[in-house]
Amino acid sequence: MSGGGPRYERFEKVKVEPEQFLLDVRKEKIDRVVSQRTRNFTVVLDRLEDSFNMAAVLRTCESMGVQEVHVVINPEAPFLPNSRVAQGCDKWLDVKLYKSFAECREHLKSRGFQLYASAIREGATSLYTLRFDTKVAIVLGNERFGVSDDVLDAVDGTFWIPMRGFSQSLNISAAASACISRAIAWRDEHLEGGSGDLPPEEAQALRERFYVLAIKQRKRLFKKQP
């Protein structure tokens, strides 16, 4: 006797809701994370080489609530963050790849961002004097060469990280951590409501996405869902 038929249609048409598979404590954590997410502060990585550094910066961004990371690909080193360092953090982020900085700049400028590159040069300002109450993207450069000339010619300004020791340089992942921590702390201290800035519709869309990502068996459960 063959299966199927009208008796079974009601089961086939039931939409799977991801929240039914999550404990309340997990949903509360996701809601809290979403409420602290920002798309008005972002990080641009210019031609990184080391997979450990790639992963470390992503992990810092995710942990500090930075939702987007923009990556200018190094043609000699594909963007493949080390999985042992990333610990799966990249699934929670929007990582956008570009073939050139010009392409990246055009995208961010169309959204109203000001771009500042990390570079020790004449006219650069201290990280501690930057304001983060508007849309700001900081550009961090290659481990050996720093940001490219294309970046320096196209950004709105440059900044440097004040140091007080004999060492006057930081690894890219350490520099990223210092810059991101400073930016988020500034936003928490100066902006009403803190650093989170997603409008309700975006927050809800991200919340629904995170609910799905939080389910270990999501590929099996949602593979047939529209």
Task: Provide the token pair at 100.
Answer: 């050139």
Task: Provide the token pair at 5.
Answer: 């038929």
CA distances from 71 to 16, 47, 67, 78, 136 (A): 35, 7, 13, 11, 15
CA distances from 93 to 2, 62, 89, 123 (A): 46, 7, 7, 33
Residue 170 annotated as binding?
Answer: yes
Of all helices (H) and strands (E), which one includes residue 30? helix 24-35
Residue 140 annotated as binding?
Answer: no
Residue 40 CA to residue 37 CA, distance in Å, equals 9
Asked whether 89 and 18 are in contact (CB, 8 A), the reply is: no
Asked whether 70 and 108 are in contact (CB, 8 A), the reply is: yes
Asked whether 117 and 152 are in contact (CB, 8 A), the reply is: yes
DSSP type of residue 185: H
| Residue among 102, 143, 139, 105 nearest 124 (CA) | 139
Residue 118 annotated as binding?
Answer: yes
Annotated binding site for S-adenosyl-L-methionine: 118, 161, 170
Annotated binding site: 118, 161, 170
